[in-house]
Amino acid sequence: MGAGRSQSDPTRADMALMQRVATNEEAAIAELYDRFGSLVYRMAVQALPSKTEAEDAVQEVFIRLWRTAGRYDQEKAALVTWVMLISRRHLVDKLRRNRARLKATSLDHPLSTAAPEASQSASRLDQDDRMIGLMKRIDALPELQKTVVKRAYLGGQTLRQIGEELNTPLGTIKSALSRALVRLRERTGEEITV
């Protein structure tokens, strides 16, 4: 019974966090950044041509998250999925603006080297699309499997830590992870590498 209560606690905690962010609570905004800053940064570095642009994008994404925090709905998506969707939208918008600038520049300089960067960015966005699809499939898993996958792969926790926090035997945690990975492989037809 303790495990069932623990599994819904993260969802309630995520909703409470976003409500606090919506009220401009500095500690909540810092907590949101601590939890998802590195994930958003990785997405930005993969999508954008320079580290400086990626750092700027992270700040812009968190401003967007703060401004839209009141619209977060835990019934529609897990918080990590919501953060990734907003990040992806922002990065796509930024790439479109960059591409528009590149087209204008390439009219002046036909031998511009911007085209390879644009195709690399498109490839990175394809990877982001696959990651978002994977997150949706993870969200569709049974509760324990979903919790174990997210904590192990996104939270960086060991299976032992997860078992202790959920008050669940290590063997149960291991088999939940194994079943989850099998289900995810069946749905995607490819090896899972998160």
Which of 20-34, 117-131, 171-185 has the least mean pLDDT?
117-131
**pLDDT at residue 194 in the model:** 43
DSSP 194: -
Contacts of 54 (CB under 8 A, 6+ apart): 41, 44, 45, 47, 48
CA–CA separation, 127 and 47 (whole Å)? 9
Query: Where does the pLDDT of residue 133 fall: very low under 50, low under 70, confident under 90, or very high at 90 and above?
Result: confident
**pLDDT at residue 125 in the model:** 67
Please say if the pLDDT value at position 193 is more than 60. Answer: no
CA–CA separation, 184 and 138 (whole Å)? 7
Cα dihedral across residues 97, 99, 100, 102: positive or negative? positive
CA–CA separation, 154 and 183 (whole Å)? 18
Q: Write out pLDDT tens, residues 98-109.
A: 776 655 554 545
Domain 7-135: which topology?
Answer: Rna Polymerase Sigma Factor; Chain: A (1.10.1740)
Domain 141-189: assigned CATH number: 1.10.10.10
Query: Where does the pLDDT of residue 6 fall: very low under 50, low under 70, confident under 90, or very high at 90 and above?
Result: very low
Q: Which amino acid is at 142?
A: P
Query: Where does the pLDDT of residue 126 fall: very low under 50, low under 70, confident under 90, or very high at 90 and above?
Result: low
pTM of the model: 0.53
Please say if the pLDDT value at position 127 is more than 90. Answer: no
CA–CA separation, 163 and 6 (whole Å)? 11
Report domain extents, the chain. 7-135, 141-189
Q: Write out pLDDT tens, residues 36-57.
A: 999 999 988 888 888 998 899 9
Contacts of 57 (CB under 8 A, 6+ apart): 40, 44, 47, 48, 90, 91, 94
CA–CA separation, 123 and 121 (whole Å)? 5
